[in-house]
Amino acid sequence: MELVLADIEVVYGKRTRNHAVRGVSLRVRRGETLAVVGESGSGKTTIAKVAAGLQKATSGTVAWQATGDGGVGGGPGGSPARRQRVHMVFQHPVQSLDPSWRIRRSVKEPLRYLGMADDEAERLVRRLIAEVGLDAQILDRYPREVSGGQAQRVAVARALVADPEIVILDEPTASLDQTVRGRILTLLADLQVRTGVGYLMITHDISSVRRLATRIAVMYRGLIVESGPAAAVLEDPRHPYTQALISAVPVADPRVRWDGVVALPRHPDGTLAVTSCPVPGSCHEHGPGLHEVGPDHVAGCTKAVDPQKAATT
Amino acid sequence: MAVVDAGAALRGNLVSRLRVGNPAAVVAFAVLGTILTLGIVVPFVAGSGDVAQEYDGLLPPSFDHPFGTDRFGRDVFLRCMAAARIDIALGLAVAVAVLLVGSLIGAVSATFGRGVDAVVMRATDVLLAFPGVVLALVITASLGKNPWYAAIAVVIAFIPLLVRLARSKALEVRSADYIAAARLSGASTWQIATRHVLPNSFKYPFVQSTLVASWAILDFAALSFLGVGVQPPDAEWGAMIAEGVGDNLLGSWWPSFFPGLMILLTAASFQVIGDWLDRRLR
C-alpha cells in the first residue's frame, strides 16, 4: 500500500488565513523512507498530522493506493483484521505515553482495538518490546519511570505492534541525547528491514536524513521546493534553500550560505522570498514551479537546472 | 475502571504524604473520624434513643445529657450522633456522585468538541445561574418532601461546578500527544474520553469533591432546616436547628447550638482536608 497526499493545502484561522501548507503532494510506500525536511514553520509537522489523519486538510486528498505488495485489505500475508494503516512516533516520547497507564497497556492498545485476544496480544507486545531492545520488565512501569530513550523505544514498539503500512516519525530523535539518537535511528532502520514498514520522517536534522531516508522532500514556507532520491538530493542539491539547509551541518561547503534563512520576508503569492535568495531569477514573476533536474529529482528554482550557477553564486 | 486506576495511583501517594505531617489536616481527620465513629457507635448502642421522648424537656447540658434535652424530652447528644451518620454519609455520597458524573460529563464534553461541548456548557450555564441552595430547594419542592429527593437535588446543584472544572482540565489533556497516539491506535472518541482524558483530568475534580462534601452537608442541612429534607421525628442537624430555634429565644440554647456546632466542625474538617489535598496533589 502506498499513502498518497495530493495537493494538500492547510489554512489556519478563518480571518488571518495563515497558509501552513500550500499545495503539497507526496507519496510514501511500504519499505521506503520519505524524509520531509525543513525549518520550523515550514509546514512539515502539519503535513505529518494530515498524513496521520489527525488533522483535516483545507483542500486536497489523502488516499491509500494498492501497490500489490500485500497490504491492508488483501493480498498474501495481509490479514486485514490484524493490521493498521498508520501509526506515529512523536517528538517527545514521554508525552506520547499516557501517564496514568502502564507501558504494557499503552503498547497493547492498538491490538485491543483490533479485537485481538489478550494472550495473543501479550505475546506480540513482548516480542515487540524485545525487538526494540527493551527488557519485558519495563511493561509494568509507568512512563514517568523510564528514560527518554526507553520511552521512545516503547513508542516505536507501540507504533509497530499492529503491523502498520506506514509509520510517521515526527522528529523522532529531536528530544534525545546524541548517543541515544544514533541508537534509535539504527533501531528504526533495522525494524524497517525486518517488517517492511514505510516511514514518513519529519525532521530538520540532516544527519538522521542521511541515516534513514530513501527519498527526500524539502519544504519551505509550506511548499516542497525540492524532492528526489536521497542520494541525489544530498549529493547534488539544486534548490538554493536545499543547499543552504545541507550546508548548515558542519561538514558542508562553507561557500554556500543562505543568509537570514529564519528572517526571510513573506512573499504575498507564496513563492520564495526572492529578495534574500542568493540566486535571484524570474522565480517571483511566475512562481517557481517544480522542474525536472534529474531522474525522479525535481526542484522549484528557475536557476536550479544549472547546478554550477546555483552552487557558486 | 479507569477511575479505579487513578484512585489507586492517588492512594499510594496520599498515605505517605499525610505522614509528612500537616497539623490542621491531622486535626481535621481526627475531628471527622471522631464524629463519624460516634455517629456509628452511639446510635447502635442507644437503639432508638434518638427519637424516644423519655426525659424531661429542655434539660440543660449535664453529665447525664452532655448536650441537654430538647423540648420533646429527647437527648440532644444522641440525636446529634444519629444525625452525624446521615449527614456525613450524605456529604460523602454526594461528593462521590458529583465527582463521577461531573468529571465524566466534563471529559466527554471536552473530548467530543464543539457540538456536544456547546450543549453541555449552555446547560451548566443555566444551572449555575441559580445559587446552589435555591436550585436544590426548587428541585426538592417540585419533587416532594423526602430526604432522598433532597440528596438528589444537592447532587444536581453541584454537578455543573465539577463539570466546569473537569472540562477545563480535560481540554488541556485533550491536546496531549498521548491522545493523538491513542487515536492512531484506534480508540474511539468515547474510549479516548473515558480511558485517557478522564483518568488524566481526574485529580483536580477529585480535590474539589472534598469541598463539595462540605458544601453538600451545609446545603442538605439548609434544606432540612427549611423543612424539605429529613422529616421529623428523624434526626438531622439542620432539622434539629429548626426545631430548637424557638427554644433558643427562651434561653435554652443547647437544642440548636450543638447541631450547629456539628455542622461547623464537619464542614470545616472537609474544607481543611480539601485544602490539604489541594496543596499535596498540586
A114 and B9: CB-CB below 8 Å?
Answer: no
Say if residue A313's pLDDT is above 60: no
8 Å CB contact between A311 and A245:
no
8 Å CB contact between A132 and A10:
no
Q: Are strands A223-229 and A59-65 parallel, antiparallel or unpaired?
A: unpaired
pTM: 0.79
d(CA B187, nearest CA chain A) in Å: 7
Residue B118, Cα to own-chain centre: how many angstroms? Answer: 28
DSSP state of B46: H
Domain presence at residue A84: yes
Say if residue A282's pLDDT is above 60: no
Q: Which of B87, B38, B89, B86 is nearest to B66 (CA)?
A: B38
B199 and A52: CB-CB below 8 Å?
Answer: no
User: Do A144 and A291 sit in the same domain of this protein?
Assistant: no
Grid coordinates of A38? 525543513
Domain presence at residue A23: no
Q: Map grid coordinates 461541548 to a residue.
A: B117
Q: Which residues share a beta bridge with A294?
A: A297
Burial-class residue B237 by CB neighbours within 10 Å (0-12, 13-18, 19+).
Answer: buried
A95 and B177: CB-CB below 8 Å?
Answer: yes
pLDDT at A68: 62
8 Å CB contact between A182 and A152:
no
User: Do A172 and A131 sit in the same domain of this protein?
Assistant: yes
User: Do A38 and A125 sit in the same domain of this protein?
Assistant: yes
B184 and A86: CB-CB below 8 Å?
Answer: yes
In a 13 Å sphere around the CA of B141, the CA atoms on its Cβ side amount to: 7
User: Do A132 and A206 sit in the same domain of this protein?
Assistant: yes
In a mutational test of the B interface, the residue from A3, A46, A92, A101 whose CB has the highest number of chain B CBs within 10 Å is A101
Distance CA B244, CA B68 (A): 12
pLDDT at A136: 93
User: Do A118 and A156 sit in the same domain of this protein?
Assistant: yes
Q: Map grid coordinates 494530515 to a residue.
A: A50
Say if residue B177's pLDDT is above 50: yes
DSSP state of B234: S
User: Do A193 and A237 sit in the same domain of this protein?
Assistant: no
Say if residue A278's pLDDT is above 90: no
Burial A86-96 (b: 16+ CB within 10 A, else e): bbbbbbbbbbb
In a 13 Å sphere around the CA of A256, the CA atoms on its Cβ side amount to: 25
**Roughly what angle, to the nearest 10 degrees, separates helices B2-19 and B23-46?**
110
Structural domain ending residue among the three candidates A212, A238, A266? A212
Question: Percentage of chain A surpassing pLDDT 90?
Answer: 42
Average pLDDT of chain B, as a whole number = 86
Q: Are strands A198-203 and A59-65 parallel, antiparallel or unpaired?
A: unpaired
A110 and B186: CB-CB below 8 Å?
Answer: yes
A100 and B186: CB-CB below 8 Å?
Answer: no
DSSP state of A145: G
Distance CA B82, CA B31 (A): 16
Q: What amino acid is encoded at A162 in this protein?
A: A
Structural domain ending residue among the three candidates A212, A240, A270? A212
Say if residue A130's pLDDT is above 50: yes
Given pLDDT bands bounded at 50, 70 and 90, which one contains residue A237?
Answer: confident
The predicted-structure confidence for A85-101, as pLDDT tens digits, reads as follows: 899 999 999 999 999 99
Q: Which of B27, B87, B75 is nearest to B229 (CA)?
A: B87
8 Å CB contact between B132 and B157:
yes
Domain count across chain A: 2
Distance CA B29, CA A220 (A): 62
DSSP state of B59: P
**Roughly what angle, to the nearest 10 degrees, separates helices B254-281 and B203-225?**
170
DSSP state of A201: E
Query: Chain A within 8 Å of B21 (Cβ-Cβ)?
Result: no
Structural domain ending residue among the three candidates A212, A244, A260? A212
B180 and A88: CB-CB below 8 Å?
Answer: yes
Asked which of A151-165, A279-293, B24-38 is least confident by mean pLDDT, the reply is A279-293
pLDDT at B10: 56
List the single residue in A54, A91, A95 with the smallest CB-CB distance to B178: A95
Residue, of B250 and B126, whose pLDDT is higher: B126
Domain presence at residue A115: yes
Distance CA B2, CA B101 (A): 14
Residue, of A263 and B74, whose pLDDT is higher: B74
Task: Tell me the fold of B29-281.
Answer: MetI-like fold (1.10.3720)
Residue B246, sorted as left (phi over 0), alpha (psi -120 to 50) or beta, turns out to be alpha
Residue A42, Cα to own-chain centre: how many angstroms? Answer: 13
Q: Which residues share a beta bridge with A215?
A: A34, A229
For residues A247-269, average pLDDT: 45
User: Do A197 and A238 sit in the same domain of this protein?
Assistant: no
Say if residue A71's pLDDT is above 50: no
Q: Map grid coordinates 531569477 to a residue.
A: A281
List the single residue in A90, A91, A114 with the smallest CB-CB distance to B186: A114
User: Do A187 and A241 sit in the same domain of this protein?
Assistant: no
The predicted-structure confidence for B94-136, as pLDDT tens digits, reads as follows: 999 999 999 999 999 999 988 999 999 999 999 888 888 888 8
Say if residue B9's pLDDT is above 70: no
Beta strand segments in B7-108, E: none
Grid coordinates of B1? 475502571
- Give the B window 190-219 contacts with A, CB below 8 Å: 191, 196, 199-200
Distance CA B280, CA B17 (A): 7
pLDDT at A223: 84
Burial-class residue A16 by CB neighbours within 10 Å (0-12, 13-18, 19+).
Answer: exposed
Say if residue A53's pLDDT is above 60: yes
Given pLDDT bands bounded at 50, 70 and 90, which one contains residue A298?
Answer: confident
For residues A44-73, average pLDDT: 81
Say if residue B17's pLDDT is above 60: no
Average pLDDT of chain A, as a whole number = 80
Domain presence at residue A61: no
d(CA A54, nearest CA chain B) in Å: 7
Nearest-10 Cα torsion for A187, A190, A194, A200: 80
Distance CA A12, CA A57 (A): 10
Say if residue B141's pLDDT is above 90: no
User: Do A202 and A238 sit in the same domain of this protein?
Assistant: no
Q: What is the domain-level CATH number for residue A99?
A: 3.40.50.300
Domain range for A39 is 28-53+78-212
B178 and A155: CB-CB below 8 Å?
Answer: no
Domain presence at residue A192: yes
Asked which of A51-55, A263-267, A280-284, B25-29 is least confident by mean pLDDT, the reply is A263-267
Is the C-alpha dihedral spanning A71, A74, A75, A79 positive or negative?
A: positive
User: Do A84 and A192 sit in the same domain of this protein?
Assistant: yes
pLDDT at B1: 43
DSSP state of B52: -
The predicted-structure confidence for B52-71, as pLDDT tens digits, reads as follows: 777 777 788 888 888 888 88
The predicted-structure confidence for A182-235, as pLDDT tens digits, reads as follows: 889 999 999 999 999 999 999 988 888 998 999 999 988 888 888 999 999 998
8 Å CB contact between A44 and A211:
no
pLDDT at B75: 87
Q: Which of A40, A38, A313, A26 is nearest to A198 (CA)?
A: A26
8 Å CB contact between A106 and A97:
yes
Domain presence at residue A21: no
User: Do A166 and A35 sit in the same domain of this protein?
Assistant: yes
Q: Are strands A86-89 and A166-170 parallel, antiparallel or unpaired?
A: parallel
User: Do A102 and A197 sit in the same domain of this protein?
Assistant: yes
d(CA A306, nearest CA chain B) in Å: 44
The predicted-structure confidence for B181-232, as pLDDT tens digits, reads as follows: 999 999 999 999 999 999 999 888 999 999 999 999 999 999 999 888 888 8
